[in-house]
Amino acid sequence: MSLSMSLYLPIAGASVNCLAIFGLGGVVGLLSGIFGVGGGFLMTPLLIMMGIPPTVAAASDSNQIVGASTSGTLAHFRQGNVDIKMGLLLLVGGIVGGSLGVQIIAVLRRMGNADFLISITYVLMLGFVGGYMFLESLQAMRKSSDAAGRSESPRGESLYARMMRTMPLQLDFKRSGIRLSVMMPFLLGMLVGVLAAIMGVGGGFIMVPVMVYLLRMPMHVVVGTSLFQILFTCMNVTVMQAAQNHTVDFILALLLLLGSAIGAQLGAKVGKKLGGEHLKILLASLVLVVMVKMLYDLLARPDILLTYAGGH
């Protein structure tokens, strides 16, 4: 009996190898479980390489992330690593920011330079976030190996800390073990929402550094809370894309999901074993690799000067 591994996907309009899609899901899911990012910035380009149209790849990936982040959130929730209060505030901010970002894109498109701004935002954000995290983790790792004692933070940070302390509407976030103004997660969530909408991604790779550096949440809570927040963002995107653009291939998503949900479960366990600084430096490296790839695409002459309208 020969079992054909190929499956025809009517929405994507292409035939794919089930095992290849399953494996791709597994690898990206593993990263997602370790770092608490949706993995959209990796999965979508890989799907396009496998012959899936860009718009279908992006929308189906959102659908897949819904499942993967459900599984990931559950795994982290059991370990007590989801700050639901914080997640909800970030989410509300993210939704407001996302709607704002969509409007900004519409205005930019009318002005005619949206594509340029999208690409530049992408490269700058990836480069800035990746570079900063990388250097910071490297420093922290050196420091901890030099001396066990923690040194006091430099001047600039204390100003930021004072601002955080004096903002109104202070609230305790027990899971994260921090106390700060309700305004902070809301405003930062909004900022990430705007950027994510402009770039057309879930924003996990911006949200994680924001939680670590600006909200000062412990890394293990950051990952669980980020997945929790991503779950809702991607649910919204999936329904909107399916209803308006018919670009969600749910069979493709389900195949990716089977792989990625298993990967995410393993990832949550691997992440627990790795130290916070190791996690950060790995994520930073990943972000930098994607940045370099994007920069290369911008600088090198493309093989073909025509592309399909749709994706960024």
- Dist CA 54 CA 84 (whole Å): 33
State the CB neighbour count (10 A cutoff) for residue 252: 27
From 38-46, 177-185, 278-286, 300-308, span contacting another protein (CB under 8 A): 300-308
- Find the shortest distance in angstroms from Cβ 217 to another protein: 23
Determine the interface stretch with another protein among 20-28, 73-81, 176-184, 189-197 (rule: CB under 8 A).
73-81
**Cβ neighbours for 213, distance < 8 A, ≥ 6 positions apart:** 132, 136
DSSP string, 153-175: P-HHHHHHHHHHHHSSSEEEETT
Q: Residue type for 294, please? A: M
Place of tokens 């559950």: 74
Instruction: Determine the Cα–Cα distance for residues 143 and 150; give it in Å rounded to an integer.
Output: 8
Q: Which tokens in the block code for residue 298?
A: 């911008």
Query: Could you tell me how many residues of this chain bind another protein (CB under 8 A)?
Result: 59
Q: Which one of 40-48, 189-197, 274-282, 298-306 is the stretch in contact with another protein (CB under 8 A)?
A: 298-306
Taking CB under 8 A as the rule, does residue 82 contact another protein?
no
> Which of residues 203 and 267 has its CB atom nearest to another protein in the complex?
267
Please identify, using beta-carbon distances, which residue of 116 and 160 lies nearer to another protein.
116
The residue written with tokens 């095992």 in the block is: 19
User: Looking only at residues 236 through 295 of this chain, which bind another protein when binding is defined by CB under 8 A?
Assistant: 238-244, 246, 248, 250-251, 253-254, 257-258, 261-262, 265, 269
Give the Cα separation of 128 and 139 in Å (integer). 16
Dist. CA 167–CA 36, nearest whole Å = 28
Find the binder of another protein among 99, 119, 170, 285 (CB under 8 A): 119
For another protein, which residue of 44, 55, 69, 176 counts as binding (CB under 8 A)?
A: 69
Minimum Å distance from CB 126 to another protein?
Answer: 15
By beta-carbon proximity to another protein, the closer residue of 185 and 263 is: 263
Residue 302 interacting with another protein (CB under 8 A): yes
Question: Both ends of the chain: CA-CA distance in Å?
Answer: 44
The reply to whether 39 sits near another protein by the rule CB under 8 A is no
**Three-point CA angle 140, 142, 146, nearest 5°:** 115
Interface mask toward another protein for 9-28; x: CB under 8 A: xxx-xxx-------------
Q: Are 32 and 264 in contact (CB under 8 A)?
A: yes
Pair type for strands 6-9 and 14-17: antiparallel
**Least Å distance between CB 39 and another protein?**
14
Q: Is residue 304 a contact residue for another protein (CB under 8 A)?
A: yes
Residues at the site binding another protein, with contacts judged by CB under 8 A: 4, 6-11, 13-15, 51, 63-64, 66-71, 74-75, 78, 112, 115-116, 119, 235, 238-244, 246, 248, 250-251, 253-254, 257-258, 261-262, 265, 269, 297-309
